[in-house]
Amino acid sequence: MKTKKILITGSNGLLGQKLVELLVRNPAIETVATAKGANRLPFQNGYSYLEMDITNAEEVDMVVGKVLPDVIIHSAAMTNVDQCESEKDNCWKLNVTAVETLISACRKYGVFLEHLSTDFVFDGTSGPYKEEDLPNPISFYGWSKYAAEKAVMSSDINWAITRTVLVYGIAHDMSRSNIILWVKKSLEEGKAIKVVTDQFRTPTLAEDLAQGCFLIADHKAQGIFHISGKDFLTPYEMALMTADYFSLDKSLISPTDASAFSQPARRPPRTGFDLKKSRDILGYEPHTFREGIALLAEQSQL
C-alpha cells in the first residue's frame, strides 16, 4: 500500500495537535508536522517535525520542496477575532499573504492544499449555512479568511476549503481555554457568570474537525466543505449543558446578550452549518455536544 504524505501547518495549535494524534495512528500516512518555533507536542514518535514560519516565503518553499507532500492541511492562522481587528497588518500577513505563499509552493511542487476557514465569513443573518451560501464578513478576521478563500478558489492548484465553527477541545501546553472548561471552573469556584443567548453556533469538537480534515485530505476531495458539530446551540445553552453534565449550580448562570460585552470586533449572530454535503460525500459524522463534554471530562480527568 502506497503511503500518503501529509504536511500540517500550525501543528502546535489545537487542531494541529489533534491532526498529528489522529494521523500517526494510520500506517498509510506519513505525517510531517510544522509550526513556527519549537515543537510543543507532548510525544515525538510516529511523525517528523520541521520548523516552518508560514510568513517566510523562502522557508515555505524550502520545506515544501524538501518534503514534497501529497497534501498540505493548512491550520495555522491568526484566529483571535478582536486581535485581528486591532492588528490588521499582522492579521493580513498571517491569514492572507501566507496562504498566497502556500498556493505558490503547492503550484510549484504539485501539492493538494486543504485550507481551513471559518463560519465568520458569513454575516450571521441566516444560519445554519450551506457551502454554496454567499459569504459577507462583518469583522476584519472574517474578511481576511474570505480573502484567503478567494485566493485559493481562484488558483490553478487542486484545493479544498474546510470551514468550521467554534472549535473546542483540550490540547497540550495551550493557553486558551474553552467554554466547557471556563463554565466548569467558574461554577466550581462559585462565580456567577453571564452567557449570551443571542448567538447561535454548531460548536465543533477538535477531534471531529481533525477527522473531517483527514477525510478531505485522504480523498483529495475538492471544493468547500462544512465541518462542525451537529447541535445548534447558544453559548447559554452550552453553559447549561456543561453545568448539567458536571452537576454544578445552574443558578449561577444568567442569560445576557452580546450588547453587554464591549468587544472590538462584531460577531455574526446566527451561524452554524448544514452538514449534508460532508455527510453525503465524506461520510462525516460528528459527536453531539454532550458527547464532546464527556470526552473533555475524560481527557482532563475532571
At 94-137, the pLDDT tens digits run 999 999 999 999 999 999 999 999 999 999 999 999 999 999 99
Output the CA–CA distances (angstroms, integers) from residue 248 to 252, 268, 298, in the order listed. Answer: 9, 30, 17
Amino acid at 151: A
User: Is there a domain that residue 189 lies in?
Assistant: no
User: Is there a domain that residue 300 lies in?
Assistant: no
- All residues at 6 or more sequence positions from 154 whose CB lies less than 8 Å from its CB, including other chains: none
Region of residue 223 (left: phi > 0; alpha: psi -120 to 50; beta: else): left
The pLDDT of residue 29 is 97
Query: What is the average per-residue pLDDT within 22-44?
Result: 96
Domain enclosing residue 76, as ranges: 4-169+204-229+272-287
User: Is there a domain that residue 260 lies in?
Assistant: no
The pLDDT of residue 1 is 63
CATH code, domain carrying 40: 3.40.50.720
Q: What is the helix (H) or strand (E) element at residue 223, kind and residue range?
A: strand 223-226
Q: Residue 238 and residue 174: Cα distance in Å, rounded?
A: 21
User: Is there a domain that residue 186 lies in?
Assistant: no
Query: What is the average per-residue pLDDT within 228-236?
Result: 98
Q: Would the pLDDT of 166 be above 90?
A: yes
Q: DSSP secondary-structure letter at 120?
A: G
Q: What is the mean pLDDT of the chain?
A: 96
Query: What is the average per-residue pLDDT within 74-78?
Result: 98
User: Is there a domain that residue 75 lies in?
Assistant: yes
**Residue carrying C-alpha cell 446566527:** 270
Report percent pLDDT > 90 for the chain.
93
61, 37 contact by CB (below 8 A): no
User: Is there a domain that residue 261 lies in?
Assistant: no
Q: Would the pLDDT of 302 be above 60?
A: no
User: Is there a domain that residue 252 lies in?
Assistant: no
Q: Would the pLDDT of 2 be above 80?
A: no
The pLDDT of residue 294 is 97
The pLDDT of residue 213 is 98
Confidence category of residue 172, pLDDT binned at 50, 70, 90: confident
User: Is there a domain that residue 177 lies in?
Assistant: no
- All residues at 6 or more sequence positions from 29 whose CB lies less than 8 Å from its CB, including other chains: 3, 4, 5, 6, 23
Amino acid at 245: Y
CA 274 to chain centroid:
17
Q: Would the pLDDT of 42 be above 60?
A: yes
- Structural domain tally of the chain? 1
